[in-house]
Amino acid sequence: MTGAILASIGISGIANLGTAEVAGANVTEDWAAVARAISDRMAELRVTQMEVAAKARISLTTVRELQNNNNPRRRRPQTLTALSEALNWPPGYLVAVLHGDQAQPHADESHDPVLGSLSSIERELGELRQRVERIERQLAAEGG
């Protein structure tokens, strides 16, 4: 691909390429990281695939494939941009995740103490769920 074409599609256009050579450098794509980011964010926002698909104006099938890392393939850059925005991230967020870059949320989000506290509560809740499940398994094994 020539530099003129790259310039015309912008850096986000690279998301449409597979592992390819771009301007002499290998570009690798981590679709599993994209899937994790989408799943984590959907859980955080408590939204469904259908809600995200509607907000991003992409098909439900595409959201499912990306979230579950099924059928990893080239995607139009606009798809990842629309999905990023539907998940309340900056437009290039998922493209950055795809290429292994350190993706940054909106500035106000990264400094929001409520979101930090919520994340902490969700982690603790997950740990409590695991403890309860272990206790239930232990009680079931003991016949009690």
DSSP string, 49-109: HHHHHHHHTS-HHHHHHHHHT-S-----HHHHHHHHHHTTS-TTHHHHHHTT------HHH
How confident is the model at residue 122, as a pLDDT? 74
Q: Minimal CA–CA distance to 42: which of 9, 22, 67?
A: 67
Q: What is the pTM of this model?
A: 0.57
How confident is the model at residue 123, as a pLDDT? 77
The model's pLDDT over 63-118, given as tens digits with 9 standing for 90+, comes to 999 999 998 777 888 999 999 999 999 999 999 999 988 766 656 665 666 666 76
How confident is the model at residue 72, as a pLDDT? 77
User: Is 50 exceeded by the pLDDT of residue 6?
Assistant: no
